[in-house]
Amino acid sequence: MTAFTPKNPDWRRQVQDSFARQTFMTTLGVRIAALEPGRCELAVDRRGDLCQQHGYLHAGVTTTLADTAAGYAAFSLMPARSSVLTSELKINLLNPAAGERLVAVAEVMKPGRTLTVVRADVFGETAGERRIVATMLATMMCLADTPEQG
């Protein structure tokens, strides 16, 4: 992995504050598991009310987790007073979303002034062992001078 230098010395709080404002993360019970410049890991526990018709976690949960991890991996490298939006994402679902929890690991592949391309893998974790569930490729957009909070 490439090491990235954040443009905002306060990048960690920038990410945490934005994440805390996403009410959907609270609804799903998603938490930040790890955070570095250009890298974000999010986790969500299996819950009976987040499932698809076969009792696995819904593909929408898997995708939401990967998308949000990718967004914050990108946001960690963006300048102060900016905000981040998902431009597009593509995900391949490789295995059923089984396990006690899902973990999404997102890493920036190419940071840019406007567009940042991020790769994210999602794993099902049981008793500390991880099995890949999905892989995503996404483009995140930086909106400059649009601070997320007044």
Q: Which residues sit at the interface with a copy of itself, rule CB under 8 A?
A: 18-19, 21-24, 26-27, 48-54, 58-61, 63-65, 67-68, 83, 85-95, 109-110, 114-115, 117, 119, 132, 135, 137, 139, 141, 148
Smallest gap from Cβ 37 to a copy of itself, in A, equals 18
Q: Which is nearer to a copy of itself, 72 or 125 (CB)?
A: 72
Smallest gap from Cβ 2 to a copy of itself, in A, equals 10
- Lookup: tokens for 41: 């890991």
Query: What counts of helices (H) and strands (E) characterise the chain?
Result: 3, 6
Q: Which is nearer to a copy of itself, 80 or 117 (CB)?
A: 117
Cβ neighbours of 148 (radius 10 Å): 14
Smallest gap from Cβ 21 to a copy of itself, in A, equals 4
Smallest gap from Cβ 72 to a copy of itself, in A, equals 10
List C-alpha distances in Å: 127 to 37, 51, 53, 99, 139. 28, 20, 25, 9, 33
Cβ neighbours of 137 (radius 10 Å): 16
